[in-house]
Amino acid sequence: MLPAAQAVATNSVVATLAEVQELAAYLTKKSIWVIGGDGWAYDIGFGGLDHVLASNIDINVLVLDTEVYSNTGGQSSKATPTGAIAKFATSGKRMRKKDLGRMMMGYGYVYVASICSGANRNQTLKAMLEAEQYPGPSLVIAYAPCIAHGIDMARSQLEGKRAVECGYWPLYRYNPTLAAEGKNPFVLDFSKPNWNFREFLLGETRFTALNQQPESVKEALLAQAEHEAKQRFANYLRWQADTLC
Ligand SMILES: Cc1ncc(C[n+]2csc(CCOP(=O)(O)OP(=O)(O)O)c2C)c(N)n1
C-alpha cells in the first residue's frame, strides 16, 4: 500500500510518507480477540458468532466453556453435556452437548482448536499462536472448570487434566493452512483416553446430583454420556487418519 501511495504522492505528502516508511517497523499487526462464555457462543450469541466466523476477516474468538451460564446462576446451555444437572435441566440434561468445533470445522476455512490448559499447556500455547497467525477467522474453545461443576476450585487445573485423560474433553487443532499445503488439517492432541469416565463424572456434584434420580435414569444418562464421548473419539481418530479432510 505504501509504495503505491508514494508513487502518486506530491508536495508535503512525499515527506510524510517517507516518515511513515522510516517508522514502518513500529506498525505491528493488529491482533483482535473476542472472548466469551459458552452461553454466549453456543446459544444467545451464536447467530453473531457464526456470522463473524463465516466471514473472511482476521479475527480470533476464545470461548471459555464452563458448560453452563455461570454468571446468571448456572442455567443449562447447549454446551451442557448429557447427564449434567443445571437450572432448566434439574434432572440431568437429556440431549448431548452441541459440537461447536465440529460445526465450525465444516466451513473449511475457520481455524478451530479445543484446548485445556490444565491438561496440556504446550498445546494451549500452540493453539493460541496458530489462531493468531492464521490470516482468517479462528475459534479456540477452552475447557473452563467452574464453581457450578461442584469441584474444589483450587484444583481446577487438575480437574481439566482429568477431563482430558478420561476422554471427557478433547484436545485438537484444525488448521486450514495445512489443507492448503495438501496435508490433513486435523490434528488430535491427546492419546488414547483411559476411559475412567464415570469416575470423573462422579467426582463432580453436577453429575452426582443424578443420585436424586431413579437408578435407571441415572444409569441411562451416565451410559449415554460415555457412549457419546466414545463415539466422538472414534470420529476424531477417523479424521486424523483421513488424508482428504
Ligand atoms: C442477549 C442476552 N441475553 C441474556 C443476557 C444476560 N446474561 C448476562 S451474563 C449471562 C450468562 C452468560 O453465560 P456464558 O456465556 O456461559 O458466560 P459465563 O457466565 O459462563 O462466563 C446472561 C444470560 C445477555 N447479557 N444478553
Quick: pLDDT tens for 139-148. 999 999 999 9
**DSSP state letter for 167:** T
Closest listed residue to residue 172, CA positions, set 112, 92, 97: 112
The pLDDT of residue 243: 62
Number of other residues whose CB lies within 10 A of the CB of residue 39: 24
Q: How far is the CA of 77 from the CAs of 27, 86, 120, 128, in angstroms? A: 41, 9, 26, 25
Our measurement of the distance from residue 183's CA atom to the centroid of its chain's CA atoms, rounded to an integer in Å, reads: 22
35-64 average pLDDT score: 97
Q: Is residue 101 within 6 Å of ligand 1 at its C-beta?
A: no
C-alpha of residue 75 to centroid of ligand 1, in Å: 10
Read off the pTM.
0.91
Of the pLDDT bands very low, low, confident and very high (cuts 50, 70, 90), residue 113 is very high
229-242 average pLDDT score: 94
C-alpha of residue 67 to centroid of ligand 1, in Å: 12
Task: Name the helix (H) or strand (E) containing 143.
Answer: strand 138-143
Nearest residue by C-alpha to atom 7 in ligand 1:
72
The pLDDT of residue 1: 82
Please name the residue that has the C-alpha cell 484436545. 171
Phi, psi values for residue 116, rounded to 5°: -155, 110
Question: Which atom, in ligand 1's list, is nearest to the CA of 64?
Answer: 21
Our measurement of the distance from residue 122's CA atom to the centroid of its chain's CA atoms, rounded to an integer in Å, reads: 16
Question: Which atom, in ligand 1's list, is nearest to the CA of 66?
Answer: 20
Of the pLDDT bands very low, low, confident and very high (cuts 50, 70, 90), residue 90 is confident
Q: Is residue 40 within 6 Å of ligand 1 at its C-beta?
A: yes
For 240-245, the CB contacts below 8 A with 24+ separation are: 240/184, 240/186, 240/187, 240/188, 242/184, 242/186, 243/184, 245/179, 245/184, 245/185, 245/186
Three-class secondary structure of residue 103 per DSSP: helix
Three-class secondary structure of residue 140 per DSSP: strand
> For a pocket test of ligand 1, which of 38, 43, 44, 46 has the largest count of ligand atoms closer than 8 A to its C-beta?
44
Phi, psi values for residue 79, rounded to 5°: -90, -10
Three-class secondary structure of residue 115 per DSSP: strand
For 181-229, how does the pLDDT look when each residue is reduced to its tens digit (9 = 90+)? Answer: 999 999 999 989 999 999 999 999 999 999 999 999 999 999 999 999 9
Nearest residue by C-alpha to atom 6 in ligand 1:
72
Q: Is residue 124 within 6 Å of ligand 1 at its C-beta?
A: no
The domain made up of 27-241 has a fold known as Rossmann fold (3.40.50)
For 69-79, how does the pLDDT look when each residue is reduced to its tens digit (9 = 90+)? Answer: 999 999 999 99
Domain ranges of the chain: 27-241
Nearest residue by C-alpha to atom 3 in ligand 1:
44
Question: Which atom, in ligand 1's list, is nearest to the CA of 40?
Answer: 15
Which burial class, exposed, middle or buried, applies to 1 when counting CB atoms under 10 A from its CB (0-12, 13-18, 19+)? exposed
Of the pLDDT bands very low, low, confident and very high (cuts 50, 70, 90), residue 27 is confident
3-state SS track over 57-92: CCCEEEEEECCEECCCCCEECCCCCCCCCEECECCC
**DSSP state letter for 131:** H
Q: Is residue 120 within 6 Å of ligand 1 at its C-beta?
A: no
- For the chain, percent of residues with pLDDT exceeding 90: 87
Closest listed residue to residue 148, CA positions, set 69, 74, 64: 74
Is there a contact between 85 and 209 (Cβ–Cβ < 8 Å)? yes
Question: Which atom, in ligand 1's list, is nearest to the CA of 144?
Answer: 20
